[in-house]
Amino acid sequence: MYKIAIAGASTLVGRELKEALEESPLAASGLTLLDEEDARGQLEQVGDEIAVVQAIGIDAFEQIDFTFFCGSESLTRKHWRHALRAGSTVLDLSGALDQETGVLVRAPWLGSEAAEPDLFTPAVVPAHPAALALALVLERLQQAAPVRFAAATLLEPASEFGRAAMDELHQQTVNLLSFQNLPRAVYDAQAAYNLLAGLGESATISLSAAEARIRRHYEALAAGRWPALALQVIQAPVFHGHTFSIAVELERPVEVFALEEALSGDHVDLVLEDTDSPSNLAATGQNDVLIRLRTEPGPRNSSQVSRLWIWAASDNLRLLAQNAVECALDLRRLRPQGTVQ
């Protein structure tokens, strides 16, 4: 049995991670729920029992094997070295540490050629769920033919920026229907019933920062194996789930059935029926990335194509939590076993 701490346990990501841990080989581990001072005392269900969220104290990470940071970036930066000094393995779901020296961005689902963590790795950042979904698609397509060019438009949900963003989107929707003023503390713009490529000057969140993080994580996962990704992030008026429109050009024409065969497999669900289009709602609670393939017509009388469109959807919180658990399972080999006599 391991001892696991979730720092930021009351956040959307923290709660999703808790459920993912309960369904994983780490389910028997002892779980400690930690968070900011204002979340202390909240009750959370852990298995069949009720646990109390504790404020992070000086000795909060003593005897903890794995610490998952699921809260704000500032929470991670404030406490991650304390966890490291206590001997805990640090996994950062907030993304605050992805540019720290020696920290690795990871996604064990991929056949990555990136550097493997070792005893000198200070922390691991489970890859951003959008970067992971895009990497899964590009890696599979590479099995059919080398990819010459890839571009993606990502529709970002409110849940990607936490409960405050979801609450403001909800309140904006209600206020618009009742002809009242809109709250703008988070977006500094009308997010309800709207698509945005940028937010207001006083917004507390940033689409450009999110886009930059996805690019960094994609490049770390690609390790030079795939082409650079042209990416645009759009704020969508939805509460949950990533959706993607992806354009791909291959180096050579390929049979459509070969593309479908390459895309199918673990963690990817290829939707073939027109009536079952992938969507953020359909992806909710799913561990897989849902994708639908549409090919550009090739030369006359040819069944081969080199240009294609992919419409994809994934549960952003679920995918991040699942990847974090996989990273922890991968890191178990670095934890000491037994006792020294």
pLDDT at 15 over 60: yes
What pLDDT sits at residue 300?
62
The pLDDT tens digits of the residues spanning 106-115 come to: 999 997 666 7
The pLDDT tens digits of the residues spanning 153-194 come to: 999 999 999 999 999 999 999 999 999 999 999 999 999 999
What pLDDT sits at residue 230?
95
What pLDDT sits at residue 299?
63
pLDDT at 40 over 80: no
pLDDT at 6 over 60: yes
pLDDT at 197 over 80: yes
What pLDDT sits at residue 66?
95
CA 85 – CA 92 distance, rounded (Å): 16
pLDDT at 337 over 80: no
Q: How confident is the model at residue 298 (pLDDT cuts 50, 70, 90)?
A: low
Mean of per-residue pLDDT scores for the chain: 90
The pLDDT tens digits of the residues spanning 261-295 come to: 999 989 999 988 777 889 999 999 999 999 999 88
What pLDDT sits at residue 183?
95
pLDDT at 232 over 80: yes
What pLDDT sits at residue 113?
64
Q: How confident is the model at residue 53 (pLDDT cuts 50, 70, 90)?
A: confident
pTM: 0.92
pLDDT at 59 over 90: no
pLDDT at 339 over 50: no
Q: How confident is the model at residue 124 (pLDDT cuts 50, 70, 90)?
A: very high
CA–CA distances in Å: residue 216 to residues 44, 143, 234: 34, 23, 18
Q: How much of the chain exceeds pLDDT 90, in percent?
A: 74
Weakest mean pLDDT among 49-63, 98-112, 218-232, 233-247: 49-63
- Residue 231 burial (10 A CB sphere; 0-12, 13-18, 19+): buried
What pLDDT sits at residue 146?
93
252: its two tokens:
């050579």
Which residues, in sequence order, are CB contacts of 189 under 8 Å at separation 6+? 196, 199, 200, 203
CA 292 – CA 245 distance, rounded (Å): 10
pLDDT at 200 over 90: yes
Mean pLDDT of the region 136-141: 93
What pLDDT sits at residue 37?
79
- The percent of the chain in helix, strand and coil, each rounded to the nearest 5, is 30, 25, 40
User: Domains, the chain, ranges and CATH?
Assistant: 3-126+321-334 (3.40.50.720), 131-316 (3.30.360.10)
Which residues, in sequence order, are CB contacts of 301 under 8 Å at separation 6+? none
Q: How confident is the model at residue 334 (pLDDT cuts 50, 70, 90)?
A: confident
pLDDT at 340 over 60: no
- Scored b (16 or more CB within 10 A) or e, 149-168 reads ebebebbbbbbbbbeebbeb
pLDDT at 341 over 50: no
| CA triple 323-326-327, angle to 5 deg | 85
